[in-house]
Amino acid sequence: MNFSASFGIANFHQGNEVKIATLIAASQPPHYNLGMKALLLPLVLATFSFPADNPTTYLASIRNIPLAQGGSIEKFSISTWGVEFLAVCHIPYGWRITAGNSASPDGELDGEGSEGITWFDKSSPKELAGFVLLELYGPVQRADVPLANGYIPATFSGQATINTDDGDRKVPITYKNVGLLAARQCPSGAR
């Protein structure tokens, strides 16, 4: 039996977060060509990254928390979906910060000031700017997506506890309150 085969990858194109790989296989006899295409296509597709496999790394900030006159941010708790926490870059003085994930796509980012003097009296405290390094495995999902048997949670959803003269009140935290700045690592000099 006499046959020759040549395989190559052509038309590799990346555009708008979509990568397309086209396999060109030329060989003889024809039945061999179909078998090789079937074997090589999964291998070629596994070689190239797709958006879900290509996370984007960010420094995250807590910002725009609504404060009334005399109010201060006492603590916050944010549930995440499709986020992997890589590092807590700095911990504000007098605060405890915890960040982590379970084996599934959900996670938590929590912070709590130890006493009134450490609470933040600004809606976008500089101490919470770029304080955690994380990866997103897809675009930010702004709200829960309902399914027939449940829902897919929003990327960021939680609450902040605001201390006021009239007692504590809870305010929601959404994607609007989490600032993301593309970064590969924590800033140098972060403590």
Written as six digits, the tokens of 133 are 């390094």
Rg of the chain taking only CA atoms, in angstroms:
24
- How large is the average pLDDT for residues 133-152? 95
For the cut 70, the answer to whether the pLDDT of residue 138 exceeds it is yes
The domain ranges of the chain are 5-50, 56-182
Do residues 157 and 171 touch, judged by C-beta distance below 8 A? no
Q: pLDDT for 84-109, tens place per residue?
A: 999 999 999 999 999 999 898 999 99
Where does residue 178 rank: exposed (0-12), middle (13-18), buried (19+ CB within 10 A)?
buried
Query: The tokens of 79 are what?
Result: 């549930």
Domain spanning 56-182 has what CATH number? 2.60.40
Question: What are residue 180's phi and psi, to 5 degrees?
Answer: -125, 130
- 160: helix, coil or strand? strand
pLDDT, one tens digit per residue, over 41-74 is 444 444 343 444 556 999 999 999 999 889 999 9
Cβ neighbours for 106, distance < 8 A, ≥ 6 positions apart: 79, 80, 81, 153
Q: Quick one: residue 34, left, alpha or beta (phi over 0 = left, psi -120 to 50 = alpha)?
A: alpha
In the chain, alpha helices (H): 30-47
SS3 127: helix
CA dist., res. 49 & res. 55, Å (int)? 10
